[in-house]
Amino acid sequence: MLLFPNCKINLGLKITGKRADGYHNILTVFFPVPFNDGLEIIDNKDLTEGIELTQSGIPISGEQKDNLCIKAWQLLKNDFPKLPSVKLHLHKAIPMGAGLGGGSADGAATLLLLNQKYLLNLTESQLLSYALQLGSDCPFFIINQPCLASGRGEQLQPIQLNLKGYQLVIVNPGIHVNTGWAFSQLNLPANTTNDDLVAIQSLSSIILDDMNHWKDELINDFEQAVFEKFPEIDWIKKSLYKNGAVYASMSGSGSSVFGLFKANEIPNFNFPSNYLVFSTLL
């Protein structure tokens, strides 16, 4: 059984404070993008217990036991002891440390695959609960439609946001931005509850307003610190605007930057050959 986990971009990203549990409260819009990894699962008849993960595409750093695909299998195995051993193959195309949520998408896709293949009959609510145990933005990839996100990112409100007719261009310079470092650069109040309905309604109003207003109103709080440390990322955003983007922003804590262009106004870019550039008509 095969799935193609997609990534996401953040339309605006406000960090409203640090929580007592160590996490951060955010306010953003997650928007799914058809830039995909590949994930396949088969029975592992050679292994009586456990999970075997093989990889291709972009190399994945870190220890394999920390991979969210393995952690997703372990979560379900704890509650479904009869879950058999499996082989997973992950083809990685979405860059890591890029603000696109590729690892989270893979973890969520593993939950979906195991639920489908082994007829676990998990509801969406149950899948969301498992996904949150993997990471704050993993639940989004269970819903996988435009959502206003608050709390840790797990409080999701689907919204009607149609960007049909726009060309999306994502540029990744191959820089890994550490998310923990990015959070440490923000001057945040402590122990907030993120129950500010006014702020949520304000973001919703901006998103549903004319996109020409987004440039001045839809801000990513991480950009200032990231741009200061990595001027190359700042240059990418300026280049997208210089070439006619209606809206451009860094996604998540970076390093990917995206631009939205009118479909008939796509320029020819001259980014360095080592950059990953992805473009799709929404």
The secondary structure of the chain as a DSSP string is: -EE--EEEEEEEEEEEEE-TTS-EEEEEEEEEEEEE-EEEEEE-TT-SSSEEEEEEES---S-GGG-HHHHHHHHHHHH-TTPPPEEEEEEE-SPSSSSS-HHHHHHHHHHHHHHHHTT----HHHHHHHHHHH-TTHHHHHH-S-EEEETTTTEEEE-----TTEEEEEEE-SPPPPHHHHHHTS---BS-----HHHHHHHHHHHHS-GGGHHHH--BTTHHHHHHH-HHHHHHHHHHHHTT-SEEEE-TTSS-EEEEEETT-PPPP---TTSEEEEEE-
Pick the catalytic residue: 8, 14, 77, 92? 8
Whether 262 is catalytic is no
Pick the catalytic residue: 14, 37, 77, 137? 137
Whether 238 is catalytic is no
Annotated catalytic residues are 8, 137
